[in-house]
Chains A and B, each alone.
Chain A
């Protein structure tokens, strides 16, 4: 018997409920669930470790490049060496030796190893527009409008920060899904305009103070 987790509450529901119609009601949260089950649900989840040849290679048989005491059973698709099962790994549709796996990860920075990326273009854009959006929302509540004014004052810090981040991470990798520098350009433009306005305002203020 296999179990399918409810999308709403995560409770494990027996597969018998879904085999005929593909839908059923979760016994815990009571919500109707539509399920599509696949053959992998009935495959045993444990995997056998790779079989290791117990005998060293006979004369004339290929030996593992990294451990000559083992018989070579695979060829690395990257560097072409003969390796045993213990020194080979499945990498997508390819068979790769462990040394090449390490090279792919550390030297070539293969994107398939990446699990997370920081989106500096979005951070720069958030710093440029975030205080204005927050201020607008607070002003719209009518009785928190004074906090909206405080948010606008925050731009004296966020605007230069936005410019710095946009310039500092101009060439940094953006999302794994390719996209242009539009966000960085927009953040840089808005940040520079706001910074310019602040500088102008401060200079005018200082000039007025001197005048008085």
Chain B
């Protein structure tokens, strides 16, 4: 990518969807890309240096998530090799497995992990003016963000002159800024919800029960599985409705969408399975089977009988448990700690 054009100099970013930030003669040019896979359109924002009020930076949990995502395949590969060693596999098998799975589970994640750690902590950086709080998307890593922020600060101080007050008195009786309360049509902040806690807890339990479905026989276990699944799905849908009415974290929304979708899909698949079980039983015997017979058949299915499909159910259960763990922390309400802070809108 070019480093300068006309009277603009590149500060950060590229042609991708994150966009770029350019230093202009008397304003900052922020280019934002929008689209899927590639930036299909670009939006241009020009902010005069004399209007920039503040630059803020906060660390994001994305660093930890990416770290876990890159370490997981390495751990999985280590686990596979360990199991093979304990099972007495020969060196030929070990080498074959390493060569087959080495690229996706060893080399690529290892390189990505090194690059990720070298680039440093992930951050979210915003630029504040009187009328907007603009997120600077190209600034995703702490080192680069601080470097660019320092440069923008230096330019702004040249244009703005003046100094900051040395102290500022906290005035608890002062009215909050007019933009503190979300304007009509905008969503208030998410601050926990009992529905999200219920979705998290029941999702976690349902996932574990679902994973054990093919290991435990009996209609009672199937009924427990169905009950937990229904409660988890309904809780997730209710929590999703609240989350969409408020400004909820993306991770929570994604988890709620997936849990709701999987819950409904599992329900339909269970019904389909019941019909298929009845059809199979009818095929095997001359007597027409009832729904109860189909239920008992499904309840007593084992992993050996279902084969690969059974492992999919186990994996699905584990995945739903993880989603439940993700949703649980977001259900907890946070309290404001400053005396003069206006409590944010609370989800009922």
In the complex, B88 has a CB within 8 A of chain A:
no
Using CB atoms and an 8 Å cutoff, list the residues of chain A in contact with chain B: 1-17, 19, 25-43, 45, 92-93, 112, 114-119, 122-123, 125-126, 130, 133, 143, 175-179
* Chief secondary structure at chain B's binding surface: loop
> How many residues from B make CB contacts under 8 Å with A?
74
B20 at the interface (CB under 8 A from A): yes
Is B85 close to A, CB under 8 A? no
Q: List 10 A-B contacts (CB under 8 A).
A: A14-B340, A27-B337, A39-B163, A41-B128, A92-B25, A115-B45, A117-B42, A118-B40, A123-B38, A177-B1
Docked CA distance A176–B303 (Å): 59
CA distance A64 to B126 in the complex (A): 43
Q: A36-B54, A38-B153, A133-B37 are in contact. Are A5 and B133 (CB under 8 A)?
A: yes
B interface list, Cβ under 8 A from A = 1-2, 5, 15, 20, 22, 25-27, 31, 33, 35-46, 50-60, 124-126, 128-130, 133, 135, 149, 153, 156-157, 160-171, 174, 176-177, 179-180, 189, 191, 247, 312, 334, 336-338, 340-341, 344
B-chain residues with CB within 8 Å of residue A37 when the two chains form the complex: 53-54, 164
In the complex, the answer to whether B41 meets A117 with C-beta atoms within 8 Å is yes
Asked whether A36 and B153 contact (CB < 8 A) given A16-B169, A19-B167, A177-B31, the answer is: yes
- B105 to A: closest C-beta gap in Å: 13
Of the candidates B51, B54, B168, B337, which one forms a contact with A14 in the assembled complex, judged by CB atoms under 8 Å apart?
Answer: B168
| A157 to B170 CA separation, bound complex (whole angstroms) | 63
- Partner pick for A35 among B15, B56, B129, CB 8 A cutoff: B56
The reply to whether B58 and A32 contact each other, CB–CB distance below 8 Å, is: yes
Residues of B within 8 A of A177 (CB): 1-2, 5, 15, 20, 22, 31
Nearest opposing residue in chain B for A37, CB measure: B54
Q: Please, how many angstroms separate the alpha-carbon atoms of A35 and B247 in the complex?
A: 23
Whether B58 lies near A38 (C-beta < 8 A) is no
Complex Cα distance, B19 from A122, in Å, reads: 14
Q: Quick check: B58 and A34 within 8 Å, CB to CB?
A: yes
Q: Are A19 and B125 in contact (CB under 8 A)?
A: no
